[in-house]
Chains A and B, each alone.
Chain A
Amino acid sequence: MKKRGKRTSRIKHFLFISTCIVLFGVLIISFMGRREFTLPHKLIFDILGTAQAGVTGIIDYGSDIWANYIYLIGLKQENDHLKEKILEYQTKTVTYREALATNARLSKLLKLKETLPAPKITARIIGHDPSQWFKTFTIDRSRRDGVMKGMPVITTEGVVGQILDGGNKRAKVLQTIDPNSAIEVRIQDTRTQGIIKGTGTSYRLLYVPKNNEVHKGDLLITSGLGGVFPQGIPVAVVSSVVSNRRGMFLNIEAEPVVDFSRLENVIVIMKSNQLAE
């Protein structure tokens, strides 16, 4: 009797292990090399995304109440400060408008091809990546709104990421600080080109030869060469430059211009990207 019980237990154990191995095999084979959502993923994404949007909405509502009523203290000083800022920016705008007019006139003289800016759509971030290994977030826009894979995502401060994939109601964005992200950039002042790669928390600027002058505090902007991001969007500020004795290139670290921990709303540039397809 005891022997039979032991045998049954062994068979059960064997069946369990076999099921797990088969499942593991199926998983590996069906997902290997894929980087797109499958039907179950899309289904979960849409169902849980709705709940996620609801929770984020409640939190934002609470934060708004806090911001609207409790933070009224010191509003007068802030208002005065902002009025001063407006005056400063108005003066700057006049100068820039003049520069823009000159630019347009010279471009016409040089017969440069005119490019129309791509349409943009704003989106709200409804959830962040739950794990510590990837840097992604979810937005409340999807294919229904014309948001497609590969489209660039920015804020008024600078570059944020790129659309990865999505369901019918939400989309997932890969942040530029993720180690899988790389953007072609140039230093705004010197026009030196390089490729900026995410390190998880900041950036590393690669392939800048040693004979180039790079200084701490230099602003890095998108070069527009990769075909994904439009030209001239701020990406990062150089934080350290090291020239090693060996190697051809400089070791450059850069800090993002965007504070990724405080992101709430983003702008999606509705620019189709053939490379992503």
Chain B
Amino acid sequence: MLITVFIILGAFLLIVQTTIFVRTPQWLGNPDLLFLLVLFMATKIDNYRGIILTMIFGLMMDTFSGFVPGLFPAVYLGLFVIIKYISRHVIIDEPTHQPPLAAVCYLTSSGAIYLYMTVFNPSAEIFWSWRDLLLQMCILAIISLPSFHLLDCLVSKINTNKNRMFSSRRKSGNRFIS
């Protein structure tokens, strides 16, 4: 259930990014919502479902961005593992930690993309603009709080529905035990 909902959500966000956001004024930026979704998964969703979703989102991003297959799945996977590792030792899923986490992770993943291209695809070049990068970091930091809150609500709603489904099934056997 969670995987299906997240795939649909990811696809929706990617379509919004590629069709609606590109028509907005440049100073508003084009927030990478799919990146925020990956970040959220890394902090809140369990390992294996997280990996599956990360790979799918990486492939989606690969399809619509650039021309180097494998770039985004690799970078997103790396980011997912690093955040999972950090979250074992440091608390990073509190609301106060989310804006700096989003900004730092975006900067790190940009660096990782640059490194990947340099090592595995030296003949290709990427467009690096510090202005755009800082703008994107700021936007992601600002929208991370409401986005994470909405996603939290979505996950808890899915879990509640799931629990209700299971509990209603269990109840059917003996109605005296609640």
Contacts and interface: CB of A to CB of B under 8 A. Distances in A.
Interface of A: 12-13, 16-17, 19-20, 23-24, 27-28, 30-38, 40-41, 44-45, 48, 51-52, 55-56, 59, 126-136, 138, 164-165, 172, 174, 178-180, 199-201, 261
Contacts of A200: 127-129
Given A37-B69, A41-B62, A201-B129, 4 more contacts: A38-B69, A51-B15, A133-B127, A138-B18
Contacts of B88: 13
A24 B30 CA distance: 28
Given A28-B120, A35-B68, A59 B51 contact: no
Interface stretch (B77-85, B94-102, B145-153, B159-167): B77-85
B120 A41 contact: no
A13 B84 CA distance: 10
A13 B136 CA distance: 33
Interface in B83-142: 84, 88, 110, 113, 120-121, 124-129, 132-133, 136
Contacts of A261: 26
B113 to A, nearest CB: 6
Nearest to B116: A28
B148 to A, nearest CB: 20
**From DSSP, what is the main secondary structure of chain A's interface residues?**
mixed
Contacts of A179: 125-127
A19 B51 contact: yes
Contacts of B63: 37, 41, 44-45, 48
Interface footprint category on B: 35 or more
A131 B51 contact: no
A70 B93 CA distance: 48
Contacts of A41: 59, 62-63, 69
Q: Which of A12, A44, A135 has most chain B Cβ within 10 Å?
A: A44
Interface string B64-76: 1111111101100
| Top-5 shortest CB links A-B | A31-B70, A200-B127, A134-B66, A127-B18, A179-B125
A41 B125 CA distance: 21
A59 B19 CA distance: 9
A35 B17 contact: no
B30 A48 contact: no
A129 B66 contact: yes
B60 interface: yes
Contact of B133 (A20, A40, A128, A132): A132
A250 B17 CA distance: 39
A201 to B, nearest CB: 8
11 contacts: A19-B48, A24-B77, A35-B68, A35-B69, A36-B69, A41-B62, A55-B16, A59-B23, A130-B34, A130-B64, A132-B30
Nearest to B55: A23
A45 B70 CA distance: 15
Contact of A133 (B34, B55, B65, B121): B65
Nearest to A135: B127
Nearest to A200: B127
A48 B77 contact: no
Contacts of B156: none
B78 A24 contact: yes
A132 B129 CA distance: 8
B61 A131 contact: yes
Contacts of B124: 180
Nearest to A20: B81
B113 A133 contact: yes
Q: Which of B22, B64, B69, B88 has most chain A Cβ within 10 Å?
A: B64
